[in-house]
Structure 1
Amino acid sequence: MTGAEARARYLDWLARERRAAANTVEAYGRDIGDFLAFLAGHLGEEPDAAALASLRAADLRGFLAARSAEGAGPATRARQLAAIRSFLRHLGRSQDLPVPALGGLRGPRLKPPIPRALTPGQAKEVAARTGQVHDPRHAEAPAEQAARDTALFTLLYGCGLRIGEALALNVGDAPLPGSEASLRVLGKGSKPRLVPVLPAVREAIAAYLALRPGARPEEPLFRGARGARLDPAVAQKSLRTYRRLAGLPEHATPHALRHSFATHLLGGGADLRSIQELLGHASLSTTQRYTVVDAAALLDTWRKAHPRAD
């Protein structure tokens, strides 16, 4: 079996068995194609299954070095290495071949991105006003949609939820005035956590549900125009429209509200362990990224306010 045939079988498996997204299949196919082209020159001939199984870690490092010389950044090389690892593992399993090249190979180190938070004023503005402002090129948003957006973005900022966590809630989960003090959320890996709910969040959700009389507990809390569970892309579009009309920065996204929640808690004196539990982070190191944001904000304030900062 040639390398090209092995690639084709792997991509078919990725699409059919793993049900990978079309974009993932296309990207992995391109990455593996780059790798096979490199090997053809590196080995002097097109590799077959046996040649792929006998690759050494040095061969993979040579490919990564060549890609780096061509200008590929660490993120691109890390993605390509992930595609190659998956491809070689699949080849080894399907052909019952050992793949020693995978042992002990480490990919490029990636610096985790620093979360980009909004200012407290911007975050409050997004939460309170996104549902009230519409694109002047289109008809005014229905009252239910406007109340929904206000409730959703108030919840994201007030509780620090991921957009997927918020949209997975049902009407029966809704934190309303007089209900439980905390909201039960299912995070990544279906791991539950309890998040305190501010009165402003309860009031916004109550105002939204008042426009949906008779809503059943099993219905989606946030629904689209046709009654189905709201698509994250629709929520992102609503905020994108608002931020451009209001002149907010481009990083004003639904996820930025979660970053803002954590950053503003840290700035207010909350400890990292508490923030970790509220966000549902498995590792404290993930939460520690917010200390960088807080330190950066503090330095910016010092530069603006200190008479000797220039």
Structure 2
Amino acid sequence: DLVRSHRRLRRPRRHRHHGACRARQAAAAVKRRPVQQDDGEPTDWPGSALVSDFLTRQLAGRRLAALSCLTYGRSLKGFALWMKSNGGWDGDWSKLTARNLRDFVIERQGTHNRRSVHNQVSALRAFLADLRERGGITTTPAAGLVLPKLPRSLPKFLTEAQTDTLMDAAEDSEKDDPQEVARDMAILELLYGGGLRVSELCGINGGDLDLGSGLVKLMGKGSKERVVPVGDSAVKAVKDYLTLRGAPARGAPMLLAARGGRLNPRAVQLMLKRKLALAGLPADLTPHKLRHACATHLLSNGADLRLVQEQLGHASLSTTQIYTHLSVAKLREVHRKSHPRA
């Protein structure tokens, strides 16, 4: 059913252009730069050694993605600097009290948005729980720290017409190198056809995508592996790209950056900005909006909610249910046609 829903979304197009190692590398990168430093802020801050060790182990063990580690690092650094400025804290995590954490959260709620405070509390809870498990502290003062509730906003997405407009504009990029255009088409089709996260897209290696079956093996959040279909259009786009680029070796990056090497999420974001400008679409649309579009269009075309959950790699069905609001219009239409008193 899910594959049939994919095929209803986009038919193959005729393109004009034919054609555990990673974990160790990531951990090494963290050791070289434990926490991303912000311009103008001190690089030597209280408690940084234990935070660096925590992030290195999380990344090496694939418990957290690189971007999550970066966010955690910034949050923990912000808390440490706040503690230093409010009493001259020396970096001894065993001296923290629940009052310290509560005062920090109260102050942040007055200066930061709810999502930012939520992320900072999450980082503190995870770090202190890990520190307790390793014997660095005997009790965690974050035990009673409650995560701020986040408002459940409706996801923004591209309509089917907008998606087609974007693909047409990307395909008609005359000024770019043919291999780069083919790669960009493969990127867009994979993001939309498979509902991939950008990190999952950039992590695809040679051998992960079966061009015969159209199934791709992905490493999602929490190092959870899943295999999902990407649709005929995406398979066709990847084949065209690999004809020009050459087939990657098993385990080597499938999508290459302009100067070689693995494609990174920022490069995908910038590429999409250029294609949106060519298509005359809103510039605030992000690669993640293509993931939203995939889920929305699958449900609108009759896909089962639980199958869409598996497609997106959601741990909870409630996360996927947010996309059902977009099928309300279709539900009303079906109700109007089918109900005897409609």
If you compute each CA radius of gyration, which structure gives the higher value, 1 or 2?
Answer: 1
Unaligned runs of 5+ in 2: 1-43, 57-65, 334-342
Judged with a 3 Å threshold, the aligned counterparts in structure 2 of structure 1 residues 28 and 103 are, in CA distance, closer, same or farther, namely closer
Q: Partner of 2:244 in structure 1?
A: 211
Q: Partner of 1:33 in structure 2?
A: 81
The secondary structure found in structure 2 opposite 1:195 is: strand
User: Contact conserved, 1:10 with 1:91, CA < 8 A, in 2?
Assistant: no
Q: Are 1:274 and 2:307 matched, yes or no?
A: yes
Q: 1:160 aligns with which of 195, 205, 219?
A: 195
CA distance in 2, matches of 1:162, 1:195: 13
Alignment-mate amino acid for residue 33 of structure 1: L
User: Contact conserved, 2:300 with 2:326, CA < 8 A, in 1?
Assistant: no
Judged with a 3 Å threshold, the aligned counterparts in structure 2 of structure 1 residues 112 and 275 are, in CA distance, closer, same or farther, namely same
Q: 1:251 aligns with which of 274, 284, 295?
A: 284
User: Contact conserved, 1:15 with 1:22, CA < 8 A, in 2?
Assistant: no
The secondary structure found in structure 2 opposite 1:222 is: coil
Judged with a 3 Å threshold, the aligned counterparts in structure 2 of structure 1 residues 86 and 215 are, in CA distance, closer, same or farther, namely closer
Q: Partner of 1:108 in structure 2?
A: 148
Superposed CA deviations along residues 31-80 of structure 1, whole A, max 9, x for unmatched, are 33224545x4xxxxx56789964734x55334433443x44332233334
Judged with a 3 Å threshold, the aligned counterparts in structure 2 of structure 1 residues 80 and 229 are, in CA distance, closer, same or farther, namely closer
Q: Are 1:10 and 2:47 matched, yes or no?
A: yes
Superposed CA deviations along residues 112-149 of structure 1, whole A, max 9, x for unmatched, are 44321111111223234325337xxxxx3211010111
TM-score (norm 2): 0.68
Q: Partner of 1:305 in structure 2?
A: none
How far the C-alpha of 1:191 sits from its partner, in A, is 2.8
Alignment-mate amino acid for residue 55 of structure 1: T
Q: Partner of 1:265 in structure 2?
A: 298
Give matches, 1:233-252, under 5 Å.
Answer: 233-252=266-285
User: Contact conserved, 1:32 with 1:84, CA < 8 A, in 2?
Assistant: no
User: Contact conserved, 2:75 with 2:119, CA < 8 A, in 1?
Assistant: no
Number of equivalences: 278
User: Contact conserved, 2:72 with 2:119, CA < 8 A, in 1?
Assistant: no
Superposed CA deviations along residues 60-107 of structure 1, whole A, max 9, x for unmatched, are 334433443x44332233334345446756776888553453222213
**Greater mean deviation of Cα atoms: 216-225 or 112-121:** 216-225
Give matches, 1:299-310, under 5 Å.
Answer: none
CA distance in 1, matches of 2:209, 2:117: 43
Give matches, 1:182-221, under 5 Å.
Answer: 182-213=215-246, 215-221=248-254
Alignment-mate amino acid for residue 225 of structure 2: P
CA distance in 2, matches of 1:90, 1:246: 47
Q: Partner of 1:308 in structure 2?
A: none
Alignment-mate amino acid for residue 119 of structure 2: R
Alignment-mate amino acid for residue 166 of structure 1: L
How far the C-alpha of 1:274 sits from its partner, in A, is 1.0
Alignment-mate amino acid for residue 32 of structure 1: A
Alignment-mate amino acid for residue 170 of structure 1: N
Q: Partner of 1:142 in structure 2?
A: 177
CA distance in 2, matches of 1:103, 1:79: 16
Alignment-mate amino acid for residue 243 of structure 1: L
User: Contact conserved, 2:46 with 2:91, CA < 8 A, in 1?
Assistant: no
CA distance in 2, matches of 1:242, 1:24: 32
CA distance in 1, matches of 2:93, 2:217: 52
User: Contact conserved, 1:263 with 1:293, CA < 8 A, in 2?
Assistant: yes
Q: Once superposed, what is the RMSD of the aligned Cα atoms?
A: 3.5
Judged with a 3 Å threshold, the aligned counterparts in structure 2 of structure 1 residues 156 and 34 are, in CA distance, closer, same or farther, namely same
Q: 1:64 aligns with which of 105, 116, 126?
A: 105
Q: Which has the higher contact order (CA 8 A, sep 6+)?
A: 2
User: Contact conserved, 1:78 with 1:108, CA < 8 A, in 2?
Assistant: yes
TM-score (norm 1): 0.74
CA distance in 2, matches of 1:97, 1:180: 51
How far the C-alpha of 1:259 sits from its partner, in A, is 0.8
